[in-house]
Structure 1
Amino acid sequence: MHAVVCRDARFRVTEQTVPRPATGQVLITVLRCGICGSDLHARNHCDDMAELAAETGYDGFMRPAQDVVLGHEFCGEIAEYGPGCRKRWPVGTRVVALPLLRNGSGVELIGLSAAAPGGYAEQVIVQESLTMPVPNGLSPDLAAMTEPFAVAWHAVRRGQVGTRQPAIVVGCGPIGLAVIGMLKASGVRTVVASDFSPQRRALATQCGADIVVDPATESAWTAYRRPNEIRRVDEVLRLGVDTMDKLRRVPNMPWWKIFRLAELVGATPTGPAIFECVGVPGIIDQIVAAAPVRSRVIVVGVCMQTDQFRPAAAINKELDLRFAMGYDPGEFRDALHLIADGKVDPSPLITGTVGLGGVENAFAALANPEHHAKILIDPTSPTIAVPAVPLQHPRL
């Protein structure tokens, strides 16, 4: 079979032996594989990523001198079962799978480890227990978007966003756009999207954002209506004194019970849910400085550099700071079915498709946010070049 191998940040298409599935594993023929932002980082900065992964308990991350087949956002068809499988679905069934592979006593990250080749290939090995059939005749293009939308769904769930609570998405790259889609799918009424790129702002609108702003000319923090929102600490102080003045005027009023009741029914002031989807130094501090009081900040963008923010500013506003990473199998299934049921539409993100020979060009194109959001790989396609301007195609 053919596969794209990355070594020392260079790509080459190679001929490889078809892998044989081990116990509990399945060989699938790749129909589509998405190029993820993690792939872009791993190509040039895998040593940094490997060191960080080792610090947190995973030492199998790819290294520059290794031959690695990238790709963890894939859809394919079952080609062969390994021994010990339950063979839940017929050969030829269209499936997606969580990109984790058992290797001896450990588990490897498919597409980000030399021990678990990924989907930039004609075929890939996955775990049967982590494989899921694609429902409703969903196209391979959209099914391949399950993995990034599962990341977004996990972030939205981590944010615990109420339907009436505004959500602000800072950064409209692929994950930011997926977060927008998942926020709307979960019923959030007001989603504000902020990005410097005109192309990405246009995609944010297509993904369902209610308000889209250019941070160079407009503030996301004032672009939406929130009459009861408290933006400054002095407003908190004034509210506390004014409330107590009113409560003390009422005779025999157990004012402390009124306070606790207000908490129970959600009447106490809260800020928006803010999703940081940029992943560069300084963004968290900017959000902390600008966010209204009692906002919840969910960090989804992966910043590989050392960053800093002022904890005292976050303390003064009582901000919640949460970090989101990956997803669980239930969220992966949720994402697949939300897409298949038409409740979220990933198609605006898909701006190009190439064959295995076009991976190098696709990586170069993805460096410009004005040109592309998500490029898919079709291993059977002869396409090498990607257009400079994304196509405005209909729903797939």
Structure 2
Amino acid sequence: MKGLLFYDKNDIKFSNDVKEPKIKVPDELIIDIAYCGICGSDLHEYLDGPIFFKKASTGGDELSNEKLPLCLGHEFSGTVREIGAGVTTLKPGDHVVVEAGATCADRRRFPSNNPRINTATCDACIAGRPNVCHYLNFCGLGFSDGGLSERVVTSEKHAIPIPKSIPMDIAALIEPLSVAWHAVRLSGLREGDSAVVLGSGPIGLATVLALQGHKAGKIVVSEPAEVRRLQAANFGVETFNPFEYKSLQEGIDALKATAGTGGFQYSFDASGVQASLDTSIGVLAAGGKATNIAIWPDVNKNFKPMSVTLEEKSYCGSMCYTRLDFEQVIEAIHTGNIDMKNIAQLITGKVKLEDAVEKGFKELINNKDHNIKILITPRDI
């Protein structure tokens, strides 16, 4: 079949000769891909990798023992093509999205020639937090072939049905929306609470939609790039330019003042730099909560514990998602709490699979401020 294979840093290639997925255990199913988004993680693998793919390049992934080359892509929608004998909740023809995380429980799907099949379940999975599994990986990032292909095999527990009233292109964005939804859900935000989002790249914009889905009150997006502020403003929220101020502290004070109530109750850092870390805490009202969604480089940053302690603020991290997040996002879209017209604004291009490198990856790299999400499809456009 057709697919986009990752070999190494700066080395991804379209192929007509990717191995067909096969059902190996009874609860697996095969999905025909409709659309697959290119994630920031995919871009990092291409420019700086292998990162997640490193496990598959150094002796086999820690869960599946799969080895490179493997197809990229973990943000996808599709139609069930074939089901295993043990699948009971899905049938051929159903529309689905895939919770792409792979954890300790997924080892059993790769029983053949897998020296890690009997590795002990990690503490995080035992504690019921599989989204922070010690061996966490993803379909399309080295655990198994992903959605930048014609077909994918996954297990029933990872495949989540969607109503056919949700178009397939919109459905491909349920995965990044679930990342943001998990962060908002984890924060404890309640209807009417105020929130600021730091950074309006794809995950920052998804966080705006997740906040709207949770019926947040005042929402402000802080973003220095004008084109991205305009993208956020299209969702009907206030925007703020931190670069209009002479110092970081002046900017923090001005942003905090926009809350009108002594500061924001919640902040969400989708930027991941020192300035956004400081701002995420500084703009909070007493008792406020800062949540980090950004993936930071593996380096230390400055952090003042008393900036949290003095006003009993809190700071937490949010990692990935669970099946529940997907289900709640789907429900929010279905009920209109997340407007499909707003989701559609995230899609800035649709490209055939054969053109994914030049018109997808390189377009996002070279024109990142003018693109949000480019969707790739194996179908004719």
Same fold (TM over 0.5): yes
Shift, 1:163, TM fit:
2.9
Out of 67, 74, 78, which is 2:69 matched to?
Answer: 67
Matches within 5 A, 1:212-231: 212-217=239-244, 219=251, 221-222=255-256, 224-227=258-261, 229=262
Which residue type is aligned with residue 27 of structure 1?
A: I
Out of 356, 362, 365, which is 1:364 matched to?
Answer: 362
Which residue type is aligned with residue 182 of structure 1?
A: A
Aligned to 1:6: 6
CA contact (8 A) 1:49 1:61 kept: no
CA contact (8 A) 2:182 2:318 kept: yes
Separation in structure 2 between the aligned mates of residue 216 and residue 324 of structure 1, nearest angstrom = 27
SS at match of 1:297: strand
CA contact (8 A) 2:195 2:220 kept: yes
Q: Any unmatched runs of 5+ in structure 1?
A: 232-270, 383-396
Separation in structure 1 between the aligned mates of residue 279 and residue 55 of structure 2, nearest angstrom = 25
Shift, 1:286, TM fit:
4.2
SS at match of 1:370: helix
Aligned to 1:103: 110
Q: 1:49 to 1:288 in 2, by over 3 A?
A: farther
Shift, 1:281, TM fit:
4.6
* Identity %, equivalent residues: 28
Point out 4+ residue stretches in structure 1 off by more than 6 angstroms. Answer: 50-53
Separation in structure 2 between the aligned mates of residue 140 and residue 278 of structure 1, nearest angstrom = 28
SS at match of 2:207: helix
Out of 318, 321, 326, which is 1:327 matched to?
Answer: 321
1:143 aligned onto 2:165: no
Separation in structure 2 between the aligned mates of residue 108 and residue 275 of structure 1, nearest angstrom = 24
Separation in structure 1 between the aligned mates of residue 236 and residue 242 of structure 2, nearest angstrom = 19
Out of 24, 29, 41, which is 1:26 matched to?
Answer: 29
Aligned to 1:348: 345
Matches within 5 A, 1:1-396: 1-9=1-9, 10-14=11-15, 15-23=17-25, 24-49=27-52, 59=62, 66-86=68-88, 88-99=89-100, 100=102, 102-104=109-111, 105=117, 109-113=138-142, 115-209=143-237, 211-217=238-244, 219=251, 221-222=255-256, 224-227=258-261, 229=262, 271-289=264-282, 291-311=284-304, 312-344=306-338, 345=340, 346-361=343-358, 362-367=360-365, 368-381=367-380
Shift, 1:84, TM fit:
2.7
SS at match of 1:148: helix
Shift, 1:226, TM fit:
2.3
Which residue type is aligned with residue 221 of structure 1?
A: L
Separation in structure 1 between the aligned mates of residue 361 and residue 42 of structure 2, nearest angstrom = 9
Q: 1:142 to 1:49 in 2, by over 3 A?
A: same
Q: Any unmatched runs of 5+ in structure 2?
A: 112-116, 120-135, 246-250
CA deviations over 1:119-156 (Å, ceiling 9, x no partner)? 00000111123222221421100111111111111100
Shift, 1:342, TM fit:
2.5
| Alignment RMSD (CA, Å) | 2.7
Relative to the length of structure 2, the TM-score reads 0.80
Which residue type is aligned with residue 363 of structure 1?
A: F
SS at match of 2:345: helix
CA contact (8 A) 1:166 1:190 kept: yes
Q: 1:316 to 1:50 in 2, by over 3 A?
A: farther
Separation in structure 2 between the aligned mates of residue 164 and residue 78 of structure 1, nearest angstrom = 39
CA contact (8 A) 2:352 2:380 kept: yes
Relative to the length of structure 1, the TM-score reads 0.77
